[in-house]
C-alpha cells in the first residue's frame, strides 16, 4: 500500500516519465516523494541556512549510499557544486574559476610569471610547444616550436589537462625543471633541463611601416599594459611618423582601469571614455584626466571579432570622439564589467557588477562595434599571410582612401 501511494505521488509530481520508469523494476519503490502543499497551502521559502543544509544533506546521502564509493571525489564534488551554483544565474561572464586556473589567470593579469616562457597547445592529447617566447629560459635551453613535451620531472603527462601541465612547468625563478622532449627528426626522446626565471608576456608589438606610418599592436590589457604602450609610443613618435595604426585585433580585453589609461594616451583631456552603470548606484563617467602623448597624430584602429571588452572601450572612445576611425570587422560585443573575488581555497569568483556604455550609448551586447571601413580577411589572404586590413589602414592614413 505504501508503494502504491508513493507511485501516485510521483506521477502527480513528475508526470508520465516516472510512471514509465516504474514499469522497469521494483527498486524505484524506494523513492520518496516530497510533501506537496494543499489547495490552500503555500510552498515554504527556505532560508540561506536551510539551503546550505540541503547541500550537506545531499552530500551525506551520496557518501552513505552511492554504490561506488571510490567514485566520490570530495574535491570534484565541491568544485562541481560551486560551479553549478554560479552557473545557475545564467550570466556567461559570472563564473567560478577553480584554483589551478585561477592562479594562472591571476599571473597573466599581472603581466609576468615565473616559469620557462613557452606558449603550448594540446594536440591529440600531447603537449606541443607552439612558440618559445623571445629571450626566455626556454630559448636559452634550446627548446623549439614543434617540440612535444612527454614528461615533467619524470612525471608522464598522459591524461593530464593543459592547466595541470602548465602548473607543473611553472615554478619559482632559479629552480630547474627537467622536460622529456620528443623532437621531429630525432629518433629518441631526450631530457632538457630548464632554469626557470621571471618571464614577461610579450603584449606589445611595434615598428615603423613604409610611408612613415607607425604601427602599435596591443594583445591584452593587463597590469603593465599602459606602461608598455606609453614606452612604445615614445619610441615611435621619436621618428616623427605621418600616422599611427593601433592594432586591437584578437585583443580579448582585461582590466578596466588599463582601458581608461590607454585610451587617455590618444584623447584630449576631459574626453568621455565610457559610462558605467552599477546596481543601486548613479551612473559613473570615466573621462580623460591627464593629457596623453599621442593626442594629435592621425589615427586608425584595427578591430575584428576577437576585439572584446577593454579593447572595445578604447576603440569606441576613439571613434565616438572623432579622434580616429575603425577598420576591420565587427567586434565581439561585451559590455559587462566583472569584479574578481579570491576565495579561501585558491579559487576565484568573477561576478558581473556593472554594464559599460561607450560615449554613443550604444548597447554593444546587441552586436559589438561596426567598423567605419569594413575589410574582411579571406581564407586566401590568411593562407598567403596577406594583411589586407593593415594595408587599408596604411592607405587611409597616407591617401585618405
Catalytic pick from 225, 264, 320, 321?
A: 320
Catalytic residue among 264, 321, 334, 348: 334
- Between CA 228 and CA 112 the distance in angstroms is 13
C-alpha span between 348 and 338 (Å, rounded)? 12
User: Distance between CA 352 and CA 337 in Å, rounded?
Assistant: 6
Exactly one of 309, 321, 347, 348 is catalytic; name it.
Answer: 309
309 is catalytic: yes
- Our CA angle for 333, 377, 362, nearest 5°, is 20
Cβ atoms of residues 293 and 230 within 8 Å: yes
Which is nearest to 260 in space by CA: 315, 314, 204? 314
Q: Mind telling me the catalytic residues?
A: 309, 320, 334
Amino acid at each position: 500500500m505504501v508503494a502504491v501511494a508513493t507511485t501516485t505521488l510521483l506521477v502527480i509530481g513528475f508526470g508520465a516519465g516516472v510512471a514509465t520508469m516504474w514499469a522497469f523494476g521494483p527498486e524505484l519503490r524506494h523513492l520518496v516523494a516530497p510533501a506537496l502543499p494543499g489547495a490552500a497551502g503555500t510552498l515554504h521559502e527556505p532560508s540561506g541556512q536551510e539551503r546550505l543544509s540541503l547541500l550537506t544533506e545531499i552530500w551525506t546521502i551520496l557518501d552513505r549510499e552511492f554504490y561506488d564509493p571510490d567514485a566520490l571525489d570530495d574535491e570534484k564534488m565541491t568544485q562541481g557544486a560551486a560551479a553549478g551554483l554560479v552557473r545557475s544565474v545564467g550570466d556567461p561572464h559570472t563564473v567560478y574559476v577553480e584554483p589551478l586556473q585561477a592562479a594562472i589567470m591571476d599571473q597573466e593579469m599581472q603581466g609576468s610569471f615565473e616559469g620557462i616562457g613557452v606558449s603550448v597547445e594540446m594536440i591529440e592529447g600531447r603537449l606541443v610547444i607552439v612558440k618559445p617566447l623571445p629571450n626566455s629560459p626556454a630559448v636559452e635551453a634550446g627548446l623549439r616550436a614543434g617540440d612535444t613535451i612527454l614528461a615533467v620531472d619524470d612525471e608522464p603527462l598522459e591524461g593530464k589537462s593543459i592547466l595541470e601541465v602548465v602548473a607543473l612547468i611553472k615554478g619559482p625563478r632559479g629552480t630547474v625543471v627537467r622536460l622529456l622532449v620528443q623532437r621531429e627528426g630525432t629518433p629518441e626522446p631526450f631530457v632538457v633541463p630548464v632554469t626557470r626565471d621571471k618571464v614577461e608576456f610579450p603584449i606589445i608589438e611595434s615598428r615603423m611601416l613604409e610611408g612613415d606610418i607607425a604601427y602599435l599592436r596591443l594583445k591584452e590589457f593587463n597590469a603593465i599594459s599602459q606602461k608598455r604602450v606609453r614606452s612604445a609610443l615614445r619610441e615611435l613618435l621619436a621618428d616623427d611618423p605621418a600616422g599611427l595604426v593601433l592594432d586591437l585585433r584578437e585583443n580579448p580585453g582585461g582590466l578596466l582601469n588599463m582601458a581608461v589609461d590607454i585610451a587617455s594616451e590618444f584623447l584630449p583631456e576631459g574626453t568621455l571614455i565610457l559610462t558605467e552603470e552599477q546596481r543601486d548606484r548613479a551612473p559613473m563617467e570615466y573621462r580623460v584626466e591627464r593629457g596623453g602623448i599621442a593626442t594629435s597624430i592621425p589615427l586608425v584602429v584595427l578591430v575584428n571579432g576577437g576585439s572584446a571588452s577593454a579593447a572595445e572601450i578604447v576603440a569606441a572612445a576613439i571613434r565616438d570622439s572623432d579622434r580616429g576611425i575603425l577598420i576591420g570587422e565587427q567586434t565581439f560585443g561585451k559590455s559587462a564589467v566583472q569584479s574578481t573575488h579570491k576565495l579561501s581555497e585558491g579559487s576565484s569568483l568573477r561576478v558581473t557588477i556593472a554594464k559599460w556604455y561607450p560615449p554613443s550609448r550604444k548597447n554593444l551586447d546587441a552586436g559589438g562595434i561596426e567598423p567605419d571601413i569594413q575589410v574582411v580577411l579571406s581564407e586566401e589572404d590568411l593562407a598567403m599571410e596577406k594583411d589586407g586590413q593593415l594595408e587599408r589602414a596604411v592607405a587611409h592614413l597616407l591617401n585618405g582612401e
